[in-house]
Chains A and B, each alone.
Chain A
Amino acid sequence: MVLLNLLGRAAARTSLAYPVTQKYAGASLSIACRSFSRDSSSGSHSDFEPKRKQVSDEEEAKKMIAGHVRDNKIMLYMKGNPSMPMCGFSARVVKVLQDEGVDFSSVNVLDYPAIREGVKQFSEWPTIPQLYVKGEFIGGCDIITGMHESGELEEILKDIKKQ
């Protein structure tokens, strides 16, 4: 059984079982996924260790991704997380979203190889980062940067900011 401990002002979800970090302008909040297995081989009880949900199957990953992009208005698949990106292209997209002043959710694909591959198949796009807004794949670093500079991105995000 996976219990979710949600911090911050996001609506409480009863069965959110995927590894999404919610980034609020200025602060990064992690969603801790805890499972109650009884593996006691490490000495300390596993109840006290944060556990990651195992995502082993690409079909399962794609279903999860469909859920992520449906449930999170701005969804970023990146390398690393917003407070510590592990790739310059991912870092640039994070910066753009911060400059746009929006809250967003993200998944660190480096922790989840099945999601890393699954998201490429889902969007038919070969690289990470990938940004989805209102369920639609918008683009990677070049496109997001270009749209930010042209004002197109602000237009797309306008409705979301109002809510």
Chain B
Amino acid sequence: MNNSEQFPVETSIIKKLEEGLDPMVLKVINESHMHNVPKNSETHFKVVVVSEKFTEKELKSLIKRHRLVNSILKDEIATEGPVHALSIVAKTPEQWQKMAEQSDGEENISIGTSPNCRGGDGSLPRRSS
């Protein structure tokens, strides 16, 4: 089974963000293992998107950028969709460059750690112990 069959949600997210934002940098990180869900789940993601599109005036505010990403991924994050939580880092190329300089290199940029799970609300299948 290749990657896109084993991880269809991740594959779909990558494809949609590439088409919608033509990003300079795109990282789609499956964080489901940090949560109380079965192995190989695709329920919790972090996306890092660096795109020239965010330099547009109306996409200056964080909330507008996040809304754009939400709308691109609306099927995945709908209540009945597979994704339960989506963490977004949305930067312009200039902002990303600045972060790289401050961290001594792009590979050292800290994108923040998502918070620890608190057990969940019981609506998703649980990880078997």
Residue in B74, B86, B114, B120 whose CB lies within 8 Å of A86: B120
- In the complex, chain A residues whose CB is within 8 Å of the CB of B25: none
Max count, chain A CB within 10 A of own CB: residue among B79, B86, B115:
B115
Nearest-neighbor residue (CB-CB) of A145 within chain B: B112
Residue-wise, chain A 122-163 has the 8 Å CB interface mask toward B (1 for contact) of 001111000000000111111101110000000000000000
- Number of residues on chain A facing chain B (CB within 8 A): 27
> Count of chain B residues with Cβ under 8 Å from any Cβ of A?
23
Residues on the B chain within 8 Å of A125, using CB: 67, 70
Decide: A91 and B70 in contact? CB cutoff 8 A: no
Alpha-carbon separation in the docked complex, A142 to B78 (Å) = 18
Other 6 A-B pairs with CB < 8 A, given A85-B118, A139-B62, A141-B87: A79-B118, A88-B114, A110-B121, A120-B79, A124-B67, A145-B112
| B residues neighboring A (CB under 8 Å) | 62-63, 66-67, 70, 74, 77-79, 85-89, 112, 114-121
